[in-house]
Amino acid sequence: MTQEQDHAPIPAEGWTEPKPTALLVLADGTVLEGVGLGAVGEGVGEVCFNTAITGYEEILTDPSYSGQIITFTFPHIGNVGTNEEDIETVSMAGASGVRGVVLRTAVTEPSNYRATRHLDQWLKARGIAGISGLDTRALTALIRETGMPNAVIAHHPDGVFDVEALKAKAREWPGLEGMDLVPGVTSAQRFNWDETPWQWPEGYGQEGSGKLHVVAIDYGVKRNILRLLARAGCKVTVVPATTAAADILALQPDGVFLSNGPGDPAATGEYAVPVIRELIASDIPTFGICLGHQMIGLAVGGRTVKMHQGHHGANHPVKDLTTGKVEITSMNHGFAVDRESLPANARETHVSLFDGSNAGIALADRPVFSVQYHPEASPGPQDSHYLFDRFVDLMAKKKAAA
């Protein structure tokens, strides 16, 4: 090797390295520089990583990610663009509460027949700041080693940042423990739902003859959960998270669904758990997903714990202990039910094969069950849809016996 080859090229005279237009500033003072995209401004939250290689629009509109900055481990995010159909927030204009997005590579022009907007434009419209050009593998390794850090994501196109102020903001943010984020994502009033899942080439369908009435308590519910309930033949009524048990029972439902949602389940449980206890005591069939699962765990006397790195991705293997089958699931949670805290009548039905954490329970003396993962998200692609059939069967048997 010659001396010239042994050295990096010398920049041309007058050349200066371009300024970063976005920063990710961690609570420990670490500053990561990159190129900004999406909304201009700042967002503070907890940084997590998601290992899914598809479904970024659904992930970014999942209310369960409220208060979090999402790092995608897959490098090519945005390549199929965005559209107006694949969002998961119930309100088309509603925000999921995501505080920011971290990407490895710059977003390419969309290449998909369903695309209506570039991801950059879509992020701007939803007020989500982004940063690209980061070593997301290194950031993921850091999270695996030290846990999910609090951080500020800042996008300033002029490249001017008050770094010390950003460090202070990240350091002073209290974190998700003890934080009830459900009020920011729940629906404001009761409404009915009849839309069914998307089918090519027709698009979304409609269920007009639901024979079983389900009341869904909205802690940040995803659209596709409601679609699968409708497809299963249910008439669905969605109610806000603070709805009283008496008001729910007054609707004479055949079953109650407890939705997913963000934040610390113990904080939400301050007002949700008493309601759920009344519903369980009424012996009404009840099905919970994600935060709804954690709410049931708390309602029967268990406790929830903050996880080290959480589970966020579409490749999580879960074993159904009632059948012995393994399903590939989608997960998004930073808290988990502590199985050791559960009472004897709460039987563990599902377990994560990644770390052995609890992924489902059922009550031995009541028609109540729940899972920690998202059976509607279809990573398997339909490994977990049977859970909606289980819920329908519970309701049908209860109704037939009445």
Active-site residue list: 290, 374, 376
Q: What's residue 94's pLDDT?
A: 57
Residue 212 and residue 137 in one domain:
no
Q: What's residue 1's pLDDT?
A: 36
Q: What's residue 210's pLDDT?
A: 87
- Say if 276 falls within a structural domain: yes
214 beta partners:
236, 255
- Say if 17 falls within a structural domain: no
Residue where a domain terminates, one of 149, 172, 195: 172
Q: Which pair of tokens denotes residue 297?
A: 């765990």
Q: What's residue 302's pLDDT?
A: 98
Residue 232 and residue 301 in one domain:
yes
Give, in order, the Cα–Cα distances in Å from 146 to each of 11, 56, 143, 296: 38, 25, 5, 30
Residue where a domain terminates, one of 112, 145, 172: 172
Going residue by residue through the chain (402 aa), what tens digit of pLDDT does each one get? 344 444 555 666 765 667 899 999 999 999 999 999 999 999 999 999 999 999 999 999 999 999 999 999 999 999 999 999 999 999 644 568 999 999 999 999 999 999 999 999 999 999 999 999 999 999 999 999 999 999 999 999 999 999 999 999 999 999 999 999 999 999 999 999 999 999 988 999 998 788 999 999 999 999 999 999 999 999 999 999 999 999 999 999 999 999 999 999 999 999 999 999 999 999 999 999 999 999 999 999 999 999 999 999 999 999 999 999 999 999 999 999 999 999 999 999 999 999 999 999 999 999 999 999 999 998 888 999 999 999 999 999 999 998
Residue 306 and residue 163 in one domain:
no
- Say if 32 falls within a structural domain: yes
Q: What's residue 10's pLDDT?
A: 60
- Say if 71 falls within a structural domain: yes
Residue 155 and residue 198 in one domain:
no
- Say if 5 falls within a structural domain: no
Residue 330 and residue 393 in one domain:
yes
Say which residues have a Cβ less than 8 Å from residue 215's Cβ, sequence separation at least 6: 237, 238, 239, 248, 251, 253, 255, 256, 257
- Say if 256 falls within a structural domain: yes
Instruction: Round to whole Å and give the CA distance between 62 and 94.
Output: 11
Say which residues have a Cβ less than 8 Å from residue 31's Cβ, sequence separation at least 6: 23, 24, 25, 163, 166, 167
Number of domains in the chain: 2
Residue 360 and residue 221 in one domain:
yes
What interhelical angle do 386-401 and 223-231 show, nearest 10? 50
Q: Beta strand 41-50 with 150-155: parallel, antiparallel or unpaired?
A: antiparallel
Q: What's residue 128's pLDDT?
A: 97
Asked if 27 contacts 176 with a C-beta cutoff of 8 angstroms, the reply is: no
Helix, strand, coil: what percent of the chain each, to 5?
25, 30, 45
Q: What's residue 18's pLDDT?
A: 79
| Residue closest to 320 by CA, chosen among 300, 347, 340 | 347
First to last CA, the chain: 86
Residue 120 and residue 162 in one domain:
yes
Residue 270 and residue 359 in one domain:
yes
- Say if 329 falls within a structural domain: yes
State the CATH number of the domain containing residue 50: 3.50.30.20
Q: What's residue 208's pLDDT?
A: 79
Q: In sequence order, which ranges of 113-260 are alpha helices (DSSP H)?
A: 119-126, 136-146, 163-172, 223-231, 245-250
Residue 228 and residue 365 in one domain:
yes
Asked if 258 contacts 295 with a C-beta cutoff of 8 angstroms, the reply is: yes
Residue 326 and residue 381 in one domain:
yes
Q: What's residue 5's pLDDT?
A: 44
Q: What's residue 379's pLDDT?
A: 85
Q: What's residue 17's pLDDT?
A: 66
Residue where a domain terminates, one of 124, 141, 172: 172
State the CATH number of the domain containing residue 358: 3.40.50.880
Domain carrying residue 128:
22-172
Q: What's residue 381's pLDDT?
A: 85
